[in-house]
Amino acid sequence: MIKTDILIIGAGPTGLFAVFEAGLLKLKCHLIDALPQAGGQCTEIYPKKPIYDIPGFPEVLAGDLVTNLMKQIEPFQPGFTLGERAETIEKLDDGSFIVTTERGTKHHAPIVAIAGGLGSFEPRKPPIANISDFEDKGVEYIIRDPELYRNKKVIISGGGDSALDWSIFLTDVAKSVILVHRRNEFRGALDSVEKVQELKNLGKIELITPAEVVGLVGNNKLEEVVIKQGAEVFKLECDHFIPLFGLSPKLGPIADWGLEIEKNAIKVDNTLDYQTNIPGIYAIGDVNTYPGKLKLILCGFHEATLMCQSAYQRIFPDKRYVMKYTTVGGVEGFDGSKKEAPKAVIKSID
Amino acid sequence: MTDIKITIIDRQGVKHEVDAPTDMNMNLMEIVRSYELAPEGTIGICGGMAMCASCQCYVLSDHELPEMGYDEDLMLSEAFNVKENSRLGCQIFINESLDGLQIELAPES
């Protein structure tokens, strides 16, 4: 069981900055994120895009913002459970919470702060009527263990990096790899496109373009896919069909935690501390809603800051505390590091 | 500055005629959001960077639209329910030449 003071669900910019504000109050944080790396949308969707409205930064790349935030919170030694989605929450008699991920990792904390953005990123599923019948029976949207495909006939569809990269990777594992894409052009990195071209020339990957997988056939297990290429429709035998069309955020299991939801977001008390209808659970950043809400990183930072002050009061109801400026108090890390403003040099004039 | 009229058919098939300002550098996706014609979180997920296709729409009128850019074209190559008249709403900016434009939102995917 992982124990912490504030359990943050979502390791995007808002969640990461909450670690800093909590650290100033000597509260430890642990973050859970469904993605395998920190940064949320900034890292997953637009790492190379510039952001122009972070106060004090005329321009910063989303990926660089995340790198800077990670550096800023380093002294506070946050824990991470990455690549796992927060699935269930249980409130204990003492008011604290246990949050369990879909892989069974348990986290215990007196405070839960949901900084889940638009939700956890889940694979986009192509609109094939019976696709759900074959999930884990030959259809996988995420490749968890490449060994599953050893000596199997694999059909991948998609035109982005993950479709190209996995096609390349699986040529060494699978019996055969066929890549189906709606266009002749691919959206992935140039290197990957060239590598696929090379493997195609060597006969290691078969490309079927422009074409689309439109149907699945099998008896309790995938046996064939139906492909439409122009006016022609044909079937191909295969063991696995892997549609790789990117990820899309979904609120997911959090929607069933008994929290008040409005407009696909969690309602919070914005006049006070961004607490939800369940005391001890806060929602900050893009995942929350209140009158006048704006989904901006800078608003998430503000919400994280107020949330931490309230969390401190909740954990230590009898302690008096006033907010200290970092310029005055410096930053004392849990790792023993200390940053502070240089002391003025006093010199007398003779 | 004048507003223009745009007709938007939402995902339930309901037709809405809305006023769209031409002076705020708004795009079609933002017009849909400003009138709350699709639930938040189901449209404009990437914020308007042509990186998610959640604002895909079908253009029903024969207005001359800005040419499709590279990003939009490639995003549509990976989107679902794409038709000949598919565009990403976030890449169509409102100007006076679009007065009377008619679009239909593509299904959520």
**Tens-digit pLDDT profile for residues A146-195:** 999 999 999 999 998 889 999 999 999 999 999 999 999 888 888 999 99
Q: CA–CA separation, A243 vs A124, rounded Å?
A: 8
Q: CA–CA separation, A23 vs A10, rounded Å?
A: 17
Q: Establish whether the linkage from the previous residue to A36 is cis, with ω within 30° of 0.
A: no
**Domain of residue B97, residue span:** 3-105
Q: Compute the nearest-CA separation of B1 from chain A (Å).
A: 26
**Tens-digit pLDDT profile for residues A41-87:** 999 888 989 999 999 999 999 999 999 999 999 999 999 999 999 99
Give me the residues paired with residue A31 across strands: A8, A80
Q: What is the CATH number of the domain that holds B51?
A: 3.10.20.30
Q: Are A298 and A54 in contact (CB under 8 A)?
A: yes
Q: Which residue has the tokens 């998610």?
A: B52
Query: What mean pLDDT comes out for the span A28-38?
Result: 95
Q: Compute the nearest-CA separation of A220 from chain B (Å).
A: 26
Q: Compute the nearest-CA separation of B78 from chain A (Å).
A: 6
CB contact under 8 Å between B74 and A45, yes or no, is no
Closest partner CB to B39 (pick from A119, A160, A264):
A264
Q: Compute the nearest-CA separation of A309 from chain B (Å).
A: 29
Query: What mean pLDDT comes out for the span B60-85?
Result: 92
CB contact under 8 Å between A45 and B46, yes or no, is yes
Closest partner CB to A118 (pick from B45, B49, B109):
B45
User: How do beta strands A176-180 and A153-157 pair?
Assistant: parallel
At B60, the amino acid letter reads: L
Interface confidence (ipTM) of the complex: 0.83
Could you tell me the pTM of the whole model? 0.85
Window 37-76 of B: residues touching A by CB (8 A cutoff) are 39-42, 45-46, 49, 51-52, 54, 74-75
Count structural domains, chain B.
1
Among chain B residues, CA nearest to A183? B77
Q: CA–CA separation, B4 vs B87, rounded Å?
A: 19
Question: In B, which residues are within 8 Å of A185 by CB distance?
Answer: 74, 77
State the pLDDT confidence band at B1, using cuts at 50, 70 and 90. low
Determine the residue among A42, A45, A161, A186 to mutate to test chain B binding: the one whose Cβ has the most chain B Cβ atoms within 10 Å: A45
CB contact under 8 Å between A185 and B74, yes or no, is yes
At B75, the amino acid letter reads: M
DSSP character string of A23-69:
HHTT--EEEEESSSSSSTHHHHT-TTSEE--BTTBS-EEHHHHHHHH
Closest partner CB to B41 (pick from A41, A118, A187):
A118
Among chain A residues, CA nearest to B36? A263
State the pLDDT confidence band at A216, using cuts at 50, 70 and 90. very high
Nearest to A317 by CA among A64, A98, A40, A110: A110
Determine the residue among B40, B76, B84, B86 to mutate to test chain A binding: the one whose Cβ has the most chain A Cβ atoms within 10 Å: B40
